[in-house]
Chains A and B, each alone.
Chain A
Amino acid sequence: MLLRRRYDLPLDRDGAARLVPWIVALMSYLAAVALAAGLALGVLAWRWSEGVSSAITVLLPPLGDGAAANSEDPRIAQARQALADLPGVGAVQALDPAQVARRLEPWLGAGTGVGELPLPRLLIVRVSGPRRPDTAELRQRMDRVAPGAVVDDHGTWRAEIARLAMRIMALSGFAVALIALAGAAVVVFAVRSGLAIHRDTIEVLHLIGAHDDYIARQFQNHTARLAFAGGLISLVLLGLTEAFLYHAALSLDPTLMPRLDLQPWQWVLLGATPGVLVFAGMMGIAGATAKRTVRRALARMV
């Protein structure tokens, strides 16, 4: 019914109206991409934050001269023992120097002799249970085992990530709001142009007894129909973009960038949610803007 409808006004013939589906498609696509990017980055930040908050990193300074890098470090066992009865502490994983070197490779490059450097020993302390370990206590115990040990509970990271996620989401919302405003402006322009073109016909409709709402509804339905067509185009574009991003995401190096590990259905949901939201939003904005614009203009006519 929305796609095929009889209009008393020849709105289909308006030049300006013909552009509306394409402009709406572009705007909807941009808005959906902004929203999806905001959502994806939000999810990513949340996962990242969850990841870092589930562990505490302890750096034991390198042993002094003469100690072989790959020899057994007695401080590891002492640290395990010191942490054993600390509430909130789960498994303690000690990375050997080779593992630490591998973690540094993406930044320092392979074959640069990272393994020859005096590297600190890295302990990853898993957080267990609902209560996080007392970081101050943990720091004291590690200091006793290895003076100068660095304990990082990633608190700063977590706060930064949360702040970043909030800013990204807010920015994405702001972008969507701007795009919606631009979409509304396009509709206002197209509707005003239609009103000017069909002024005589509108006057005839008025004179034979049409209410403002009768005329405004025709513009509203017509504009919503154009927005619907634009929305469909944007959904197709969005699907193609997601397919591209899905494959691009699979090839990301997880040591450099946190991966957005989503199931295919989650990818669909990630694209469909903003797509459908923007689609419905654009239809609503277009229809309501058209109706309001027409009613305001008609109020100045006979």
Chain B
Amino acid sequence: MSGGGAFVRFEQVGFSYGDGPEVLHDVSFDLEPGTFHFLTGPSGAGKTSLLKLLYLAQRQTRGAIRLFGRDTASLSRLEAPVVRRRIGVVFQDFRLLPHLSAFDNVALPLRVASVGEAQIRQHVGELLAWVGLADALDARPATLSGGEQQRLAIARAVVARPDLLVADEPTGNVDDHNAQRMMRLFQNAHHYGATVVVATHNAALVERYNYPQLHLEAGKLSILPAAGSA
């Protein structure tokens, strides 16, 4: 899946917004293909910033990041989209396109990758059924509930079968039942082979699912193994 080189590798990464203070300091970690990690830490610890580096929404201010064996600093504007297509992102605020139907929102990653419409119809239909939105193909996001929007965002993130699935606080605004439902979707994607990173500050969820954690405190990262592992 990853080819040669590290699948995901952060080496002494530092990051700051513009001339502001550094929000990530000397962050280093490796993610092996097919792993599942929680990204934990209190609000303001830098979880979203780290995820933004991971899905190429920002560039680090120092250090090196390698994704799928490629140094992200050397990616050209033509190469970056190709790498991004291997990453599925569930944004904290979903970032669904309000003027598009549920179907078209989910189809977007396939359309930008020039997948044929027949294939799109098949994949998107299956995906929407998988997340329980088979009856909402034509619905605009604004007409869906918060939980449905989140599932729609997950469907969009996984429709292109990404190698890396990144979710930023996906369970932040949903009840426990919906949070568990979402976690099952992430686990399904994981079972299909995706490497998953879920950012959360929901301690109960972390405890229940018992995956290793990338833990951030004031911009510094530590790795906490899953309970029961060596």
Distance in Å: Cβ of A5 to nearest Cβ of chain B = 13
Distance in Å: Cβ of A198 to nearest Cβ of chain B = 10
A209 to B156: give the CA distance in the assembly, Å: 12
Task: Return the chain B residue nearest A299 by Cβ.
Answer: B77
Q: Which residues of A contact B (CB under 8 A)?
A: 6, 8, 10, 13, 200-201, 203-212, 214, 299, 302
- Is B224 in the interface zone, CB < 8 Å from A? no
Q: Once the chains bind, are B108 and A205 in contact (CB under 8 Å)?
A: yes
Which residue among B81, B84, B85 has the maximum number of chain A CB atoms within 10 Å of its CB?
Answer: B81
A200 to B57: give the CA distance in the assembly, Å: 12
- Is B99 in the interface zone, CB < 8 Å from A? yes
Distance in Å: Cβ of A291 to nearest Cβ of chain B = 15
A204 to B160: give the CA distance in the assembly, Å: 15
Out of B56, B77, B111, which one reaches A212, CB within 8 Å? B77
Q: Once the chains bind, are B97 and A8 in contact (CB under 8 Å)?
A: yes
Q: A8-B108, A302-B56, A302-B57 are in contact. Are A208 and B156 (CB under 8 A)?
A: yes
A7 to B85: give the CA distance in the assembly, Å: 20
Q: Can you spell out 11 A-B residue pairs with CB atoms less than 8 angstroms apart?
A: A203-B57, A204-B91, A204-B95, A206-B84, A207-B56, A207-B89, A209-B85, A209-B160, A210-B81, A211-B78, A302-B58
Distance in Å: Cβ of B20 to nearest Cβ of chain A = 17
Which chain B residues border A6 with CB–CB below 8 Å? Answer: 104
Distance in Å: Cβ of A212 to nearest Cβ of chain B = 6
Q: Once the chains bind, are A208 and B100 in contact (CB under 8 Å)?
A: no
Interface residues of B in 91-112 (CB under 8 A from A): 91, 95, 97, 99-100, 104, 108-109, 111-112
A206 to B85: give the CA distance in the assembly, Å: 10
Task: Return the chain B residue nearest A209 by Cβ.
Answer: B85
- Is B142 in the interface zone, CB < 8 Å from A? no
Which residue among B55, B89, B100 has the maximum number of chain A CB atoms within 10 Å of its CB?
Answer: B100
A205 to B95: give the CA distance in the assembly, Å: 10
Which residue among B78, B91, B97 has the maximum number of chain A CB atoms within 10 Å of its CB?
Answer: B97
- Is B113 in the interface zone, CB < 8 Å from A? yes
Which chain A residues border B91 with CB–CB below 8 Å? Answer: 204
Q: Once the chains bind, are B77 and A209 in contact (CB under 8 Å)?
A: no
Out of A8, A206, A302, which one reaches B111, CB within 8 Å? A8
Task: Return the chain A residue nearest B99 by Cβ.
Answer: A10
Q: Once the chains bind, are A208 and B84 in contact (CB under 8 Å)?
A: yes
- Is B144 in the interface zone, CB < 8 Å from A? no
